[in-house]
Amino acid sequence: MNNKSREELLKIFGRLVMLAVICFLVSLAAHQAPDSSHFNQQWIDDQAQHNGWQGMLNYLLVATLLISMGLPRQLAAFLAGYAFGFLQGLLLSMLAVSFSCLLTVLLVRIFARPFARHFFAKRVSQLDAFMHEYPLKKAMVLRLLPVGNNMLTNVLAGMSSVAVLPFLLGSVIGYIPQMLVFSLMGKGVLLQSGWKIGLSFALFAFSSLLSWYLYQQYRLSKQSPPTIVSLSAGEQR
């Protein structure tokens, strides 16, 4: 076995060890956290609301983990607005979805991308071609869309060679409208405020129409292949 083969083997072994450690830590956190079906008003009332900084930390850790596992980010924003009010809820839910995005992209890039490039080279090259130019704008447009799978989009971005920082920044900007709307909706439910709930629905409809219009304009102007959009379309996340 030559030195190059030995180095490659050591890299693979190191990645497997890191993956095992991460899986162990995530399993411990998942054991303490509720599953997505129990991340609801009852859990928020018991573990987050009126518990000060500890409640905020509980929400942030659990929401980050569950969003990384496929929890709709809109639900996380709604529960944060319900628990902490509009501004704090918006901030905490934005932190959770942003941490989840960064965590997923980095983990996939470290552990899954080498295998994806080997077994799905053509698909990965298509992703690279799509995300190569203007990654910030493309990430923003993808997040603004009213449809799409947030977790799968993160996974696909990790498999591509897109620069992480522009993708993350574009995602954060694109997340804001819907996270704002659902945080406001959660606050309205807490206060039983009909006008806030109505305003939330109106803002959601407006942001959905605006994001779809922006996507259509961008797609027509750039003629970008809908690789990530088509793959990530599905249940709204």
Give pLDDT tens digits along the chain (237 positions). Answer: 566 666 666 766 666 676 676 666 666 556 656 666 678 888 888 888 888 899 999 899 899 989 998 899 989 999 999 999 889 999 999 999 999 999 899 888 887 777 777 666 777 777 777 777 788 888 888 887 766 788 888 988 888 888 899 999 999 998 988 898 888 888 775 555 556 566 656 666 666 666 666 666 556 555 444 444 444 444 444
For residue 50, the 8-state DSSP code is T
Distances (CA, A) of 179 to 4, 28, 41, 121, 217: 48, 28, 18, 35, 23
pLDDT at 29: 59
Tell me the C-alpha distance between 235 and 20, whole Å: 30
Contact 145, 177 (CB under 8 A): no
Largest CA distance in the chain: 71
Residue 236 phi/psi, 5-degree rounding, is -65, 130
Tell me the C-alpha distance between 73 and 56, whole Å: 17
pLDDT at 221: 55
